[in-house]
Structure 1
């Protein structure tokens, strides 16, 4: 009996050691495995992080309008032209009214717009300044992608034409190539136009005199403006009368001629009206 108990105790001890050894082995191995795999996961997370990717350049169309007053709008407008040309820009349009106003539409590099506005502000008293930015990054990226796809398609069609074996395939490929080329040219023109709008900002400069005709600051200014308006109206009325006078004389002459014609027609009808009277007198004599 003692021997049996000793055998059971020995077997239990042997199983405990085997179980402990088998359990500790994987545990010991799993620790380094996890520690070794952790850097790999971390590196992968870092490599796929959006923060590590280069963001595309923003494409913005910047427009602005500045209104200012000056003693000589025309001369000030010419100074604006000089500022724009010094900034490597160009002038698209100029509208000048001597001693009244000057309006310019200019194109300047986008990165130099602020400097140009600062220089223009020094030419007079600024009454209004507005700028706006329109983000066209998605539109520009889409145009680039479409241009790239069409260019690749055009290249494939040209290769197909060179390697075609029969005339039918050549004609079909040439027709497709003409359509793709037209689409490619159109998209490239749109991209160039958009790129020009992004590279060169549009600025409208409106220059006027110190006080516009519609700016009445006091009652006396209103009286003066009304008096000037009265004289302007009277002058316009005199001019209109002078224009109408020759037409009035012409109408009077026409009316006189028409009156004479009517009188002549009336006189020519009187002898025919007297014939019945003569016939009546002759009948009276015969009856007698």
Structure 2
């Protein structure tokens, strides 16, 4: 039977701890290596996939691919791809007109709830500015819609309003997402190894060192998981920035002929004259108290002036005669000389 001294036992424990740390480091290195090779194999398979309707499978040389497009009336955003393994973030900007803002808002918000989305923020201005004799009302929304139901929501907006501009931007974050998942898996493996080392450690300084490393690994894990949750939210729910303005008449969507433009321009001029007369009448009625006060002040001033002129007619006549006699006196003086 072999007996070991206390120094030899301590030495063996230290050697065991060092070997465990080396194994943990090797696991992390191998995990990072598998991350890069995994990314290459992942996209090698995707590049061979055929193109689907509504999306493009071409991969750029950069780490992320952004696509943006402006759409005319009736077109659909082409950012949604049927392949669920790709991570695409879609953002849509829409400017629209409505002849009845309240009715349009009701229809759109009801559709958002029906599709399983939600309104992230909203700003409604009732009479925020005054233009062409009308109080202009506007509404601005930030809406989150499930990505697979985005086209249905855009169709609802087109039906409930007149879209004047629409643009869509699609950002491909697949590479970043896969890289984060690989780092997460490597950190989880390192966490498992550190927990095993912590169980076998006996010296206080060794325990403290392992716990410090374990805390750092767990902090990195929480940060990566937070980034992945943010990506998942943006990928699963497309963002729609919607601005609606209430108008009396929709903007024309097609260019009109010369005679039609002249006729509409003439009618618009008549309408502007009518609005001007109406606004003047409204202004006059609103300012009747001020106008009455000015009229009273003017009447008093005129009355005082006339009264003062009636009281001193003799003085005025004498002053006039004196002015008429002055040139004659000067003439007689010259003749006397």
TM-score range, shorter chain: 0.5 to 0.7
Matched residue, 2:113: 85
Aligned length: 181
Matched residue, 1:203: 240
TM-score by length of 1: 0.55
1:112 aligns with 2:149: yes
Write out aligned runs for 1:137-286 (5 A): 137-210=174-247, 220=269
Matched residue, 1:128: 165
In structure 2, runs of 5+ residues without a counterpart are: 1-43, 50-82, 127-135, 250-263, 288-337
Confirm or deny: 8 A CA contact 2:99 2:246 kept in the other structure.
yes
Confirm or deny: 8 A CA contact 1:74 1:96 kept in the other structure.
no
Shift of 1:211: 5.6
Partners of 2:174 and 2:226 in 1: CA distance: 17
Instruction: Tell me: CA distance 1:221–1:176, structure 2 relative to 1, closer, same or farther (3 Å).
Output: farther
Partners of 1:115 and 1:149 in 2: CA distance: 40
Matched residue, 1:58: 86
Partners of 1:54 and 1:203 in 2: CA distance: 32
Aligned Cα RMSD in Å?
3.4
| Secondary structure of the structure 2 residue equivalent to 1:102 | strand
Partners of 1:52 and 1:110 in 2: CA distance: 21
Instruction: Tell me: CA distance 1:51–1:140, structure 2 relative to 1, closer, same or farther (3 Å).
Output: closer
Confirm or deny: 8 A CA contact 2:99 2:248 kept in the other structure.
no
Shift of 1:168: 1.3
Structure with more of its chain in helix, by fraction: 1
Task: Please tell me whether Structure 1 or Structure 2 has the larger radius of gyration of its CA atoms.
Answer: 1
Partners of 1:54 and 1:164 in 2: CA distance: 51
TM-score by length of 2: 0.48
Partners of 2:200 and 2:173 in 1: CA distance: 41
The 4+ residue runs of structure 1 with deviation greater than 3 A are 50-56, 217-224
In structure 1, runs of 5+ residues without a counterpart are: 1-49, 239-288
1:72 aligns with 2:100: yes
1:56-92 CA-partner distances (Å, limit 9, x unpaired) = 8211000001111112223312321111110011110
Partners of 1:175 and 1:192 in 2: CA distance: 26
Confirm or deny: 8 A CA contact 1:74 1:97 kept in the other structure.
no
Shift of 1:148: 1.1
